[in-house]
């Protein structure tokens, strides 16, 4: 039982390292999501469609494994 605080500290350190390691990928995903939004709006305008709903066009959710699942609305 005495090892639990140490294990938790190690886990926190590992998670902090992973978050820091994933920041560049998160920035790229954000740029991709914005590009998809812009292209979708442009496509809708060119085809004469109008979105009455201003909800997000891209939804990012954690995947069970490494990486993210990207769902287009």
pLDDT in tens, the chain (73 residues): 558 888 888 999 999 999 899 988 888 888 898 889 888 888 888 888 766 555 555 555 555 555 555 555 4
Ordered alpha helix ranges (H), 1-73: 4-47
- At 13 the pLDDT is 93
Q: Which two tokens stand for residue 44?
A: 């809708």
Cβ–Cβ < 8 Å for 30, 22: no
Beta bridge partners of 68: 62
Give the whole-angstrom CA distance, residue 40 versus residue 35: 8
The helix/strand/coil state of 59 is strand
| Single pTM value for the model | 0.47
Cβ partners under 8 Å of residue 64, min gap 6: none
């Amino acid at each position: 039982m005495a090892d639990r605080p140490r294990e938790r500290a190690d886990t926190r350190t590992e998670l902090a390292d992973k978050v820091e390691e994933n920041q560049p990928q998160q920035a790229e995903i954000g740029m991709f999501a914005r590009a998809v939004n812009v292209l979708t709006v442009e496509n809708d305008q060119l085809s004469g469609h109008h979105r009455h709903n201003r909800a997000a066009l891209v939804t990012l959710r954690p995947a069970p494994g490494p990486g993210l699942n990207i769902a287009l609305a």
